[in-house]
Structure 1
Amino acid sequence: MPTLEAKDTLFKKKSTVNCRGKLLSLDTPLVMGILNVTPDSFYPGSRLNNLSEVLQRTEQMLSDGADILDVGGYSSRPGAVDIAEQEELDRVVPAIEAIVQRFPDAVISVDTFRASVAEAAIAAGAAIINDISGGKLDEAMFETVAKRQVPYILMHMRGTPQTMASLAQYEDLVVEVVDELQAQVAKLKRLGVKDIILDPGFGFAKTAAHNFELLNRLEELRILELPVLAGMSRKSMVYKSLGVDQTDALTGTIGVNMIALMKGADILRVHDVKETKQTIQLYKKTTL
């Protein structure tokens, strides 16, 4: 296996993602807009309470240039309340169906760790499964992904949203994150899953210091030769470090996202699509 210091030319990541026959190119980093159909997401500005609000936010994000819309019905903030499967289904499926009906060309991902919710979301029109647990909270998830042959975002987390804070203990953070992701990647590949995207899981079973170390060493994930998603939008690593509220964390979010781009991130998961597209536009000026 190449060392982490090896030249970038040794690592040849996939350059496209197949979403229901629509190929998304990763030659330019993509923007994933967050659509939270939850009453308790950590950032109040992202909470959508009805289908009218969902469609309004969707229209704005698509107008601002979102490449993917990430629909979630289960808050995964630290210490979040665990909700029943049916409640998550009741939040997610109608939202996806409404988006597909109004915006049939939109590429939708479903943010869930439950295989049954993922299955229903794909049936409703979603094209990507975004799993914060990396397949560890539902043993049926990987089989569902393989059966549906949809892109799968594999995030690193330990425990659950209720317990993860107590599990933020590492000897070598990035080596352990890579090893734990690689173990899950191997399982997916054995099942024939073709499109896998890695998410190192900023804020999930990681302290603020861990988050910044992970950001600083993000390029080391290249060793797995898979696209990388970075999700730091308005998170505590940003606003607490700056001593501001989430509502004032846009500038900080742009800052850490630019660093992520320079470290090799292929997808940015954000609340603020327009500003992120502008960030990518400026980043691209440095790669010409």
Structure 2
Amino acid sequence: MFSRSAWLHLRIPFSYYLMPVFFFSLAISPNISVNPLIWTFLIIHLFLYPASNGYNSYFDKDEKSIGGLKNPPKVTKGLYYLSLLFDVIALVLAVVNISIVFAVLIFVYGLISKAYSHPAIRLKKYPIGGWLTVGLFQGLFAFVMCYVGINRFPLENALRASVIIPGLLSSAMLLGTYPMTQVYQHEEDSKRGDKTFSLMLGVRGTFLFVGALFAVVTIGYILYFNAFFVNDYSVSFVAALFPVMIFFLYWFIRVIKDETKANHKNTMWLNFISATCLNIFFIYLLLDSTQLWQMF
């Protein structure tokens, strides 16, 4: 019923790059149990995020490389229906296995992701608005959504400083990461009339902005760990991000010499290194701060 190209445009493996938000939320969760943890993970990463990817791909109709697909196939109407089907599955699983509150958060996230690319609204064409929307909803909102799902808490349990602050830090990290995912799409975005944040900054401006924001965000994480944890995790956090900093600087030097190096391949490498380092760190934070590894 659904073509191979429709399944490819869901870009399910791309969910890996958004997993740090889940693992960070898990690391500060006080009410961890196996079933809600697994269901929250699967609903968000296997259904919700791919549904958003597919829906965006259908309306963007990219002809050149996009996140997770170097050579995207032509989109079909089947992709539109498949993305909506994944949304429905996410909602049903959320209601059955977690809670109505979690399902509502899933629904809201889906609506915002559709507003980002649908031609009637298309937040993507507004450089500041689109950038802020992605940062806030893939960061803070997703963090709260994961927290509510993992712990099966009502929403008010997540509306406290101990949850909102790390959620805002997740948003800040994504506000720095997201322009890098646009840096190789300037030509494609210009043709569609989408003035993205990275396009507004320019190639070199994107690197300079992201580098400066990354430094500020790192300081924010250090202050957070020092304020909310007994153990000093700030050193471990900086050490975990060291490979990201090295690759970023190496790539920037190459881009200064040749802007064509701001391409899909290098962007995906930065995403992969960043996601891997953060995933490892937040899993370590979970195991060490909760002493879970004493069970092994």
Q: TM over 0.5: same fold? A: no
TM-score by length of structure 1 reads 0.32
Q: Which structure has the highest strand share of the two? A: 1
Q: Which structure has the highest helix share of the two? A: 2
TM-score by length of structure 2 reads 0.31
**Higher RCO (CA 8 Å, separation ≥ 6 residues):** 2
* Larger of the two Rg values belongs to structure: 2
